[in-house]
Structure 1
Amino acid sequence: MKMKIKFLWLTLFCMVLTSCGTNEAKHSTAPETGTYKVAILYPGGENKTFDMDYYENKHMPMMAKLLGDNLRFYEIDKGISGRTGGDRASFVTMGYFYIDDVEEYNEVIARNMDTIRNDIPQYTNIQPIIQISEIRQWKSGHTK
Protein backbone atom coordinates (compact mmCIF):
# COMPACT_ATOMS: atom_id res chain seq x y z
CA MET A 1 0.00 0.00 0.00
CA LYS A 2 2.81 2.42 0.91
CA MET A 3 4.45 1.63 -2.42
CA LYS A 4 1.25 2.52 -4.31
CA ILE A 5 0.97 5.83 -2.45
CA LYS A 6 4.61 6.66 -3.18
CA PHE A 7 4.07 5.81 -6.84
CA LEU A 8 0.95 8.01 -6.98
CA TRP A 9 2.80 10.94 -5.35
CA LEU A 10 5.73 10.51 -7.73
CA THR A 11 3.36 10.41 -10.73
CA LEU A 12 1.51 13.50 -9.50
CA PHE A 13 4.81 15.32 -8.91
CA CYS A 14 6.01 14.52 -12.44
CA MET A 15 2.71 15.66 -13.93
CA VAL A 16 2.93 18.97 -12.07
CA LEU A 17 6.53 19.52 -13.20
CA THR A 18 5.81 18.81 -16.85
CA SER A 19 2.71 21.01 -16.86
CA CYS A 20 4.77 23.96 -15.57
CA GLY A 21 7.09 23.99 -18.55
CA THR A 22 6.70 26.61 -21.24
CA ASN A 23 7.63 26.62 -24.87
CA GLU A 24 8.48 30.17 -25.92
CA ALA A 25 8.42 29.20 -29.60
CA LYS A 26 4.64 28.94 -29.34
CA HIS A 27 2.79 32.23 -29.35
CA SER A 28 -0.26 32.69 -27.19
CA THR A 29 -1.75 34.75 -29.99
CA ALA A 30 -0.68 33.16 -33.25
CA PRO A 31 -1.16 35.28 -36.36
CA GLU A 32 -4.45 34.86 -38.13
CA THR A 33 -5.55 35.57 -41.66
CA GLY A 34 -5.97 39.32 -41.86
CA THR A 35 -3.15 40.02 -39.42
CA TYR A 36 -0.28 42.05 -40.82
CA LYS A 37 3.44 41.48 -40.49
CA VAL A 38 5.95 44.31 -40.59
CA ALA A 39 9.36 42.93 -41.55
CA ILE A 40 12.43 45.07 -40.80
CA LEU A 41 15.43 43.58 -42.59
CA TYR A 42 19.02 44.63 -41.91
CA PRO A 43 21.22 43.57 -44.85
CA GLY A 44 24.74 42.42 -44.06
CA GLY A 45 27.87 43.55 -45.82
CA GLU A 46 31.22 45.24 -45.57
CA ASN A 47 31.58 47.72 -42.68
CA LYS A 48 28.05 47.04 -41.39
CA THR A 49 27.67 47.09 -37.60
CA PHE A 50 24.84 45.82 -35.43
CA ASP A 51 24.51 45.69 -31.63
CA MET A 52 22.14 42.77 -31.06
CA ASP A 53 22.05 43.28 -27.28
CA TYR A 54 20.82 46.86 -27.68
CA TYR A 55 18.31 45.85 -30.35
CA GLU A 56 16.85 43.04 -28.23
CA ASN A 57 16.83 44.82 -24.89
CA LYS A 58 16.22 48.47 -25.77
CA HIS A 59 15.03 49.18 -29.30
CA MET A 60 12.44 46.45 -29.84
CA PRO A 61 10.87 46.82 -26.36
CA MET A 62 10.68 50.59 -26.99
CA MET A 63 8.94 49.91 -30.31
CA ALA A 64 6.56 47.43 -28.68
CA LYS A 65 5.58 50.05 -26.12
CA LEU A 66 4.98 52.64 -28.87
CA LEU A 67 2.83 50.21 -30.88
CA GLY A 68 0.71 49.37 -27.84
CA ASP A 69 -2.38 47.20 -28.21
CA ASN A 70 -2.06 47.09 -32.01
CA LEU A 71 0.95 44.80 -31.56
CA ARG A 72 0.15 41.11 -31.14
CA PHE A 73 3.79 40.08 -30.67
CA TYR A 74 7.20 40.58 -32.19
CA GLU A 75 10.08 38.36 -33.24
CA ILE A 76 13.80 38.88 -33.73
CA ASP A 77 15.89 36.67 -36.01
CA LYS A 78 19.67 36.73 -36.06
CA GLY A 79 21.15 35.74 -39.41
CA ILE A 80 23.67 32.92 -39.09
CA SER A 81 24.27 31.73 -42.65
CA GLY A 82 22.94 31.59 -46.17
CA ARG A 83 21.48 28.50 -47.80
CA THR A 84 24.53 26.43 -46.85
CA GLY A 85 26.73 26.74 -43.79
CA GLY A 86 29.53 28.31 -45.85
CA ASP A 87 27.33 31.07 -47.29
CA ARG A 88 27.21 34.42 -45.49
CA ALA A 89 23.79 35.42 -44.17
CA SER A 90 22.09 37.94 -46.43
CA PHE A 91 20.66 39.76 -43.43
CA VAL A 92 22.37 40.43 -40.10
CA THR A 93 19.04 40.63 -38.33
CA MET A 94 15.35 40.59 -39.13
CA GLY A 95 12.70 42.00 -36.82
CA TYR A 96 8.99 41.35 -37.21
CA PHE A 97 5.95 43.07 -35.74
CA TYR A 98 2.60 41.27 -35.98
CA ILE A 99 -0.10 43.93 -35.96
CA ASP A 100 -3.85 44.22 -36.44
CA ASP A 101 -4.13 47.61 -38.13
CA VAL A 102 -1.68 48.99 -40.73
CA GLU A 103 -3.15 52.51 -40.64
CA GLU A 104 -2.71 52.69 -36.87
CA TYR A 105 0.85 51.33 -37.22
CA ASN A 106 1.69 54.04 -39.79
CA GLU A 107 0.21 56.75 -37.55
CA VAL A 108 2.29 55.62 -34.56
CA ILE A 109 5.47 55.48 -36.66
CA ALA A 110 4.83 58.95 -38.13
CA ARG A 111 4.06 60.42 -34.70
CA ASN A 112 7.27 58.94 -33.22
CA MET A 113 9.59 59.17 -36.23
CA ASP A 114 12.17 61.39 -34.51
CA THR A 115 12.41 59.05 -31.51
CA ILE A 116 12.79 56.01 -33.77
CA ARG A 117 15.34 57.62 -36.10
CA ASN A 118 17.41 58.90 -33.18
CA ASP A 119 17.52 55.42 -31.66
CA ILE A 120 18.71 53.54 -34.77
CA PRO A 121 22.34 54.83 -34.61
CA GLN A 122 22.52 53.42 -31.08
CA TYR A 123 22.60 49.88 -32.50
CA THR A 124 23.42 49.95 -36.23
CA ASN A 125 24.73 51.84 -39.23
CA ILE A 126 22.56 49.75 -41.58
CA GLN A 127 19.67 51.27 -43.52
CA PRO A 128 16.85 48.75 -42.94
CA ILE A 129 14.53 47.43 -45.61
CA ILE A 130 10.91 47.46 -44.46
CA GLN A 131 8.01 45.51 -45.88
CA ILE A 132 4.43 45.25 -44.64
CA SER A 133 2.62 42.05 -45.59
CA GLU A 134 -0.82 40.62 -45.01
CA ILE A 135 -0.75 37.14 -43.53
CA ARG A 136 -2.79 35.01 -45.90
CA GLN A 137 -2.24 31.62 -44.27
CA TRP A 138 -0.90 30.42 -40.95
CA LYS A 139 -0.63 26.67 -40.67
CA SER A 140 1.29 24.39 -38.39
CA GLY A 141 3.91 22.18 -40.00
CA HIS A 142 2.63 19.25 -37.96
CA THR A 143 0.43 16.75 -39.76
CA LYS A 144 -1.36 13.74 -38.38
Structure 2
Amino acid sequence: MLRVSATYPNLPGSHFDGDDYVGRHAPFARGLLEPLGLRALRITIGTAALDGAPPPYWALSELIFDDRDSFDRAMDICGAALMGDAPRYTNVDPVLQISSLIDA
Protein backbone atom coordinates (compact mmCIF):
# COMPACT_ATOMS: atom_id res chain seq x y z
CA MET A 1 0.00 0.00 0.00
CA LEU A 2 1.10 3.54 -0.72
CA ARG A 3 0.66 6.35 1.77
CA VAL A 4 0.83 9.97 0.65
CA SER A 5 1.25 12.31 3.60
CA ALA A 6 0.43 15.98 3.36
CA THR A 7 1.67 18.00 6.32
CA TYR A 8 0.73 21.64 6.80
CA PRO A 9 3.46 23.41 8.82
CA ASN A 10 2.38 26.01 11.36
CA LEU A 11 4.61 28.79 10.05
CA PRO A 12 4.67 32.38 11.38
CA GLY A 13 1.77 34.29 9.82
CA SER A 14 0.07 31.16 8.53
CA HIS A 15 -3.53 30.16 9.07
CA PHE A 16 -5.48 26.94 8.67
CA ASP A 17 -9.25 26.48 8.93
CA GLY A 18 -9.56 22.95 10.31
CA ASP A 19 -13.37 23.02 10.27
CA ASP A 20 -13.41 23.84 6.55
CA TYR A 21 -10.70 21.28 5.85
CA VAL A 22 -12.55 18.47 7.60
CA GLY A 23 -16.12 19.49 6.82
CA ARG A 24 -15.83 20.63 3.20
CA HIS A 25 -12.45 19.91 1.63
CA ALA A 26 -12.10 16.29 2.82
CA PRO A 27 -15.50 15.22 1.40
CA PHE A 28 -14.64 17.07 -1.83
CA ALA A 29 -11.30 15.22 -2.05
CA ARG A 30 -12.87 11.87 -1.18
CA GLY A 31 -15.52 12.34 -3.87
CA LEU A 32 -12.87 13.02 -6.50
CA LEU A 33 -10.35 10.40 -5.43
CA GLU A 34 -12.38 7.34 -4.38
CA PRO A 35 -13.43 6.52 -7.97
CA LEU A 36 -9.74 6.81 -8.90
CA GLY A 37 -8.41 4.36 -6.31
CA LEU A 38 -8.35 6.13 -2.94
CA ARG A 39 -8.62 3.43 -0.25
CA ALA A 40 -8.63 5.63 2.85
CA LEU A 41 -8.28 9.24 3.93
CA ARG A 42 -7.11 10.00 7.46
CA ILE A 43 -6.84 13.49 8.92
CA THR A 44 -5.12 14.67 12.07
CA ILE A 45 -5.63 18.27 13.21
CA GLY A 46 -2.86 19.64 15.41
CA THR A 47 -3.88 20.98 18.81
CA ALA A 48 -0.60 21.55 20.68
CA ALA A 49 3.05 20.59 20.96
CA LEU A 50 4.01 18.34 23.89
CA ASP A 51 5.03 21.37 25.96
CA GLY A 52 1.67 23.09 25.35
CA ALA A 53 3.00 25.47 22.69
CA PRO A 54 1.08 25.84 19.42
CA PRO A 55 1.24 22.72 17.24
CA PRO A 56 4.22 22.51 14.89
CA TYR A 57 1.83 21.34 12.16
CA TRP A 58 -1.70 22.56 11.54
CA ALA A 59 -2.72 19.22 10.07
CA LEU A 60 -1.54 15.92 8.65
CA SER A 61 -3.51 14.03 6.03
CA GLU A 62 -2.83 10.52 4.80
CA LEU A 63 -4.16 9.31 1.47
CA ILE A 64 -3.93 5.56 0.99
CA PHE A 65 -3.71 4.06 -2.51
CA ASP A 66 -2.80 0.58 -3.74
CA ASP A 67 0.31 1.82 -5.56
CA ARG A 68 2.12 4.82 -7.00
CA ASP A 69 0.57 4.40 -10.45
CA SER A 70 -2.94 4.70 -9.00
CA PHE A 71 -1.98 7.84 -7.11
CA ASP A 72 -0.27 9.39 -10.14
CA ARG A 73 -3.31 8.73 -12.35
CA ALA A 74 -5.61 10.29 -9.75
CA MET A 75 -3.41 13.38 -9.49
CA ASP A 76 -3.22 13.73 -13.26
CA ILE A 77 -7.01 13.84 -13.35
CA CYS A 78 -7.89 15.93 -10.30
CA GLY A 79 -4.70 17.23 -8.68
CA ALA A 80 -5.22 20.76 -9.99
CA ALA A 81 -8.75 20.89 -8.52
CA LEU A 82 -7.51 19.68 -5.12
CA MET A 83 -4.59 22.10 -4.94
CA GLY A 84 -6.76 24.92 -6.30
CA ASP A 85 -9.11 24.48 -3.36
CA ALA A 86 -6.34 24.99 -0.77
CA PRO A 87 -6.61 28.81 -0.52
CA ARG A 88 -10.10 28.34 0.92
CA TYR A 89 -8.67 26.74 4.08
CA THR A 90 -4.99 27.72 4.32
CA ASN A 91 -2.18 29.93 3.09
CA VAL A 92 0.40 27.16 3.68
CA ASP A 93 1.78 24.89 0.97
CA PRO A 94 1.62 21.29 2.15
CA VAL A 95 4.77 19.21 2.37
CA LEU A 96 4.07 15.95 0.54
CA GLN A 97 5.76 12.63 1.16
CA ILE A 98 5.33 9.23 -0.48
CA SER A 99 5.72 6.28 1.89
CA SER A 100 5.10 2.56 2.02
CA LEU A 101 2.39 1.65 4.49
CA ILE A 102 3.58 -1.16 6.77
CA ASP A 103 1.57 -2.73 9.56
CA ALA A 104 3.90 -3.70 12.38
- TM-score range, shorter-chain basis? 0.7 to 0.9
Deviations 1:4-59 (A, max 9, x none): xxxxxxxxxxxxxxxxxxxxxxxxxxxxxxx1111000000211111111111221
1:100 counterpart letter in structure 2 = D
Residue in structure 2 matched with residue 118 of structure 1 by the alignment: 84
Ranges of 4+ aligned residues in structure 1 off by more than 2 Å: 84-88
TM-score, with length taken from structure 2: 0.87
Structure 2 portions without partners, runs of 5+: none
Structure 1 distance, partners of 2:82, 2:52, is 35
Alpha-carbon deviation of 1:89?
Answer: 1.8
Alpha-carbon deviation of 1:101?
Answer: 2.2
Q: Secondary structure at the match of 1:112?
A: helix
Alignment of 1:38-77 (within 5 A): 38-69=4-35, 70-77=37-44
1:124 counterpart letter in structure 2 = T
Does residue 36 in structure 1 map to residue 13 in structure 2?
no
Residue in structure 1 matched with residue 45 of structure 2 by the alignment: 78
Q: What is the RMSD of the two structures over their aligned residues, measured on CA atoms?
A: 1.5
Q: Tell me how many residue pairs correspond in the alignment.
A: 103
Residue in structure 2 matched with residue 6 of structure 1 by the alignment: none
1:48 counterpart letter in structure 2 = S
Alpha-carbon deviation of 1:91?
Answer: 0.5
Q: Which has the higher strand share?
A: 2
Rg larger in structure: 1
2:55 counterpart letter in structure 1 = A
Structure 1 portions without partners, runs of 5+: 1-34, 140-144
TM-score, with length taken from structure 1: 0.65
Q: More relative contact order in 1 or in 2 (CA 8 Å, sep 6+)?
A: 2
